[in-house]
């Protein structure tokens, strides 16, 4: 099939063979799990359990809060010991809400109900995916049920892209998954294709994974799904890059991929959709590559909430000279403050980086305007201009250069001869712009509420005055009536209606 | 001579009509500069500037009755933004109006609240919920941190607390690695 190369990109060192030689192994059952309630993009899940509650494997413990949110389930059976803030894998090193479970070791499941998706209404199928807590497992962790709803974006999906590119160095979890569980992935694609009814299904895999390609080709035989080997070039696994590569389509700057009739899911996401629908098993584990400076790099199937330190111990422990622990790949991942943090749905790789894996810390030199960053930028941006404006805190100008089209792939920082931490500047600028936007919304809300209050006070004042005015003539009338009681009595006897006539005049006067 | 006078008179009359029509047809409601100034103010409605809220202060600035450095919640950045809008030179905040503080949130000690409703009446954005002889509470999402509820409280049960940073409000910081200057490079070489 014809491919359409994207602009820029990098040939990086691969480091795949360290971890992709052995089969996926199930990690040992830990004693304690700390399951974060925020493992996805969107609102944090609402806890449904309290300390002391017994939970079963697969039981829902966190309810999605809002449309863009995901459910959280107990990864194994046990007793909830706490619902509190604990360290989570995050670049800030801060704490977040977690449900701690003491594992009883019995692995008692809840009742699993497979769903017959062929005879299900699309919204019910989406709900089934949503309540199974399925999110994008490529690392972006966006709730999949939201992506499975096309309404309002395109009439019909042209291309369903299944992302098995796995372009980051060191990472091999999708490679092993495709080699060993290709039929499960294809079963997941069946469900996605049933719901989205795409014109064609394309499975993009980088050509440095011949075994995975062979396994997927074999599993796809007779289904009409096309396995497309793509050249090994970072970041071919980026959604926009893979879309361009396979279809030559590019989403508009302010649009989504569905606007051009494309939707993309990771292979691991397709696999979890298959487990959720065909077996009734929610997302309670994922495959994690543990590699770098560990004694036996490997891919482990890990329960969510298991501690990083235990997984590293299971891989033989650290080798000497580990300088930094990274979650994700070396280009897009982030350094962790501690290894006592739990695995989440976003944990695709744990990289214990030694001196060879890290670029040596060199002093940052001034930008020499060489343009190397522009040549490698896969989003077709001008990283140098973005850098100048982000550095000078000229955020509106950075936005004019399409700062928000930056996918933070790290190619520019990688090639920069002056070692400028370019991506850090872009992240900083994006965060500041978001914060300013939030602040503006708050100010607008305060303005409206203040305005509403002033209007209310004014209204209440007028009502009070009107009441007073109404009362004053009534009192005056009453005093007149007291002074001439006989007249009013005769009047009332003659025509009862006249009793109301004074008030009528008062109203008219008012 | 006579013709010229009539021609000019007619021209003047026509222009007058046109201008009169334009003045009615394209009339600008309110002063747009007030809106622009108001949009730059933080809408805390705290009154530290000496006016009864952000909009009166914006009107006073537009009328030249107030200076641009009287808004502590807006901070130095706010002064710079106002200076840019009005084409003036930025200046430091006037200490008479108060100092720039981190964002705070009013919190009612619900154990001690006697339900007097005085703070509810003081809140400029109706962010306090409660009724007479019932416990009051602050709607955190809507509190602007103006501190106007503090003085009326007869039992001093309201406290200002700094907004605690959380994982959802965390931001990537400005890269700390300093660009190596020539003098520093020379020093390193020595």
Q: Could you state, in order of their start, the residue ranges of all structural domains in chain B? A: 32-97, 102-190
pLDDT given for residue A72 in this prediction = 97
Q: Which positions in chain B touch A445 (Cβ < 8 Å)?
A: 142
Longest dimension (CA), chain B: 92
Token code pair at residue A233: 């070039």
Average pLDDT of A173-193? 96
pLDDT for B51-64, tens place per residue? 989 999 999 999 98
Domain ranges of chain A: 25-327, 364-473
Task: Identify which of B44, B167, B177 has the shortest CB distance to residue A94.
Answer: B167
pLDDT given for residue A481 in this prediction = 63
Residues 240-269 of A with CB under 8 A from B: none
Residue B179 confidence (pLDDT) above 80: no
Average pLDDT of A185-209? 95
Q: Which residues contact A69 (CB under 8 A, 6 or more apart)?
A: A40, A42, A43, A44, A45, A143
pLDDT for A421-445, tens place per residue? 999 999 999 999 999 999 999 999 9
Q: Which positions in chain A touch B173 (Cβ < 8 Å)?
A: 428
Q: Using DSSP, state whether B3 is helix, strand or coil.
A: helix
pLDDT for B22-37, tens place per residue? 988 888 776 788 888 9
Residue B98 confidence (pLDDT) above 80: yes
- Give me the total of CB pairs closer than 8 Å, taking one residue from chain A and one from chain B: 75
Domain B102-190 has CATH 3.30.70.20: yes
In the block, residue with structure tokens 């879309």: A243
Average pLDDT of B108-126? 93
Which residue in chain B is spatially nearest to A363 when comparing CA positions? B180
Task: Identify which of B54, B174, B188 has the shortest CB distance to residue A428.
Answer: B174
Report long-range pairs for A332-335 (Cβ below 8 Å, ≥24 apart).
A332/A139, A332/A168, A332/A408, A332/A409, A332/A410, A333/A168, A334/A90, A334/A91, A335/A91
pLDDT given for residue B185 in this prediction = 45
Q: Domain A25-327: give its CATH architecture.
A: 3-Layer(aba) Sandwich (3.40)
Report long-range pairs for A368-375 (Cβ below 8 Å, ≥24 apart).
A368/A417, A368/A418, A370/A417, A372/A412, A372/A415, A372/A416, A372/A417, A373/A411, A373/A412, A373/A415, A373/A416, A373/A422, A375/A8, A375/A415
Q: Which positions in chain B touch A96 (Cβ < 8 Å)?
A: 166-167
Q: Which positions in chain B touch A424 (Cβ < 8 Å)?
A: 172, 175
In the block, residue with structure tokens 């006592």: A340
Residue A487 confidence (pLDDT) above 50: no
pLDDT given for residue A497 in this prediction = 41
pLDDT given for residue A502 in this prediction = 40
Token code pair at residue A109: 């499941």
Task: Please state, in angstroms and rounded to a whole number, the distance separating the CA atoms of residues A136 and A239.
Answer: 12
Which residue in chain B is spatially nearest to A438 when comparing CA positions? B169
Return the H-helix or E-strand segment holding A397: helix A395-400
Task: Identify which of B38, B171, B188 has the shortest CB distance to residue A432.
Answer: B171
Q: What is this structure's pTM? A: 0.83
**Are B111 and B95 a contacting pair, CB within 8 Å?**
no
Percentage of chain A lying above the pLDDT 90 cut: 83
**Are A78 and A30 a contacting pair, CB within 8 Å?**
no
Return the H-helix or E-strand segment holding A352: strand A349-353
Residue A498 confidence (pLDDT) above 50: no
- CATH fold label, B32-97: 3-methyladenine DNA Glycosylase II; Chain A, domain 3 (1.10.15)
pLDDT for A260-308, tens place per residue? 999 999 999 999 999 999 999 999 999 999 999 999 999 999 999 999 9
pLDDT for A214-257, tens place per residue? 999 999 999 999 999 999 999 999 999 999 999 999 988 888 88
- E strand map for A91-217: 95-103, 159-163, 200-206
**Are A115 and A125 a contacting pair, CB within 8 Å?**
yes
CB contact under 8 A, A453 and B165: no
Which residue in chain A is spatially nearest to B180 when comparing CA positions? A365
CB contact under 8 A, B43 and A446: yes
Average pLDDT of A476-498? 51
Average pLDDT of A103-107? 94
CB contact under 8 A, A364 and B178: yes
pLDDT given for residue A151 in this prediction = 77
Identify the DSSP state of A30.
Answer: P
CA distance A449 to chain B (A): 5
Which residue in chain B is spatially nearest to A452 when comparing CA positions? B125
Residue A336 confidence (pLDDT) above 70: yes
Q: Which positions in chain B touch A449 (Cβ < 8 Å)?
A: 125-127, 142
Q: Which of A334-338, A366-370, B120-124, B178-182 has the lowest mean pLDDT?
A: B178-182
Token code pair at residue A175: 């490679």
pLDDT given for residue A492 in this prediction = 41
| Phi (first) and psi of residue A205, to 5 degrees | -135, 135
CB contact under 8 A, A365 and B179: yes
Reported ipTM? 0.79
Residue A500 confidence (pLDDT) above 60: no
**Chain centre to alpha carbon of residue A463:** 51
Contact residues of B toward A, CB < 8 A: 38, 41-45, 53-54, 124-127, 142, 144, 165-175, 177-180, 188
Return the H-helix or E-strand segment holding A461: helix A422-483
Q: Using DSSP, state whether B106 is helix, strand or coil.
A: strand
pLDDT given for residue A257 in this prediction = 87
Task: Please state, in angstroms and rounded to a whole number, the distance separating the CA atoms of residues A384 and A100.
Answer: 46
Q: Which of B127, B179, B189 to mutate to test the interface with A (most CBs of A within 10 A)?
A: B179
């Amino acid at each position: 099939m014809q491919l359409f190369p994207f602009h820029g990109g990098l040939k990086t060192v691969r480091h795949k063979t360290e971890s992709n030689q052995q089969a996926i192994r199930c990690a040992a059952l830990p004693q304690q799990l700390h399951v974060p309630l925020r493992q996805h993009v969107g609102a944090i899940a609402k806890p449904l359990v309290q300390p002391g509650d017994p939970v079963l494997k697969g039981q829902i413990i966190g309810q999605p809060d809002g449309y863009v949110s995901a459910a959280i389930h107990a990864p194994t059976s046990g007793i909830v010991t706490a619902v509190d803030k604990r360290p989570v894998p995050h670049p800030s090193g801060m704490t977040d809400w977690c449900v701690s479970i003491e594992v009883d070791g019995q692995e008692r499941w809840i009742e699993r109900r497979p769903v017959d998706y062929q005879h299900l209404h699309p919204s019910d199928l989406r709900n089934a995916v949503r309540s199974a807590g399925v999110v994008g497992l490529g690392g972006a962790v966006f709730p999949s049920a939201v992506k499975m709803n096309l309404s309002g974006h395109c009439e019909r999906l042209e291309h369903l892209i299944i992302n098995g590119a796995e372009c980051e160095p060191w990472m091999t979890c999708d490679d092993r998954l495709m080699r060993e569980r290709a039929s499960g992935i294809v079963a997941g694609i069946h469900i996605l294709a049933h719901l989205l009814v795409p014109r064609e299904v394309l499975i993009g895999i980088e050509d440095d994974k011949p075994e995975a390609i062979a396994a997927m080709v074999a599993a796809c035989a007779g289904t009409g799904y096309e396995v497309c080997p793509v050249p090994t070039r970072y970041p071919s696994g980026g959604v926009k890059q893979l879309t361009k590569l396979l279809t030559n389509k590019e989403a508009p700057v302010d649009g989504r991929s569905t606007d051009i009739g494309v939707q993309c899911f990771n292979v691991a996401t397709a696999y979890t959709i298959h487990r959720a629908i065909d077996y009734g098993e929610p997302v309670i584990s994922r495959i994690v590559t543990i590699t770098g400076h560990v004694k036996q790099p490997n891919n482990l199937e890990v329960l969510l909430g298991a501690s990083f330190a235990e997984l590293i111990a299971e891989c033989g422990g650290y080798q000497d000279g580990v300088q930094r622990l990274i979650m994700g790949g070396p280009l897009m991942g982030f350094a962790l403050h501690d290894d006592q943090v739990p695995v989440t749905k976003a944990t695709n790789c744990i990289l214990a980086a030694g001196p060879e894996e890290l670029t040596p810390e060199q002093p940052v030199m001034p930008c020499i305007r060489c343009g190397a960053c522009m040549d490698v930028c896969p989003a077709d941006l001008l990283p140098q201009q973005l850098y100048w404006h982000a550095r000078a805190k000229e955020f509106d100008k950075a936005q004019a250069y399409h700062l928000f089209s930056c996918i933070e792939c790290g190619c520019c920082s990688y090639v920069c001869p002056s070692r400028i931490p370019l991506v850090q500047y872009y992240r900083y600028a994006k965060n500041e712009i978001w914060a300013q936007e939030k602040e503006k919304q708050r100010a607008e809300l305060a303005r409206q509420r203040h305005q509403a209050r002033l209007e209310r006070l004014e209204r209440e004042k007028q009502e009070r005055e009107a009441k007073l005015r109404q009362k004053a003539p009534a009192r005056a009338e009453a005093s007149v009536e007291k002074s001439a009681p006989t007249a009013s009595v005769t009047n009332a006897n003659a025509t009862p209606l006249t009793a109301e006539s004074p008030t009528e005049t008062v109203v008219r006067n008012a | 001579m006579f013709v010229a006078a009539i021609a000019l008179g007619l021209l003047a009359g026509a222009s007058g009509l046109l201008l009169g029509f334009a003045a009615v047809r394209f009339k600008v409601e309110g002063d747009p500069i007030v809106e622009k100034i108001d949009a730059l103010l933080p809408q805390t409605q705290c009154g530290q500037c000496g006016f009864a809220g952000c909009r009166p202060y914006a009107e006073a600035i537009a009328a030249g009755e107030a200076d641009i450095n009287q808004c502590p919640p807006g901070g130095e950045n706010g002064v710079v933004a106002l200076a840019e809008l009005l084409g003036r030179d930025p200046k430091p905040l006037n200490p008479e109006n108060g100092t720039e503080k981190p964002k705070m949130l009013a919190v009612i000690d619900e154990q001690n609240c006697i339900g007097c409703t005085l703070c509810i009446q003081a809140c400029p954005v109706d962010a306090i919920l409660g009724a007479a002889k019932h416990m009051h509470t602050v709607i955190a999402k809507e509190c602007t941190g103006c501190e106007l509820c503090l003085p009326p409280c007869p039992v001093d049960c309201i406290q200002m607390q700094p907004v605690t940073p959380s994982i959802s409000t965390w931001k990537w910081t400005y890269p700390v690695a300093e660009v190596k200057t020539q003098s520093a490079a020379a020093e390193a070489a020595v």
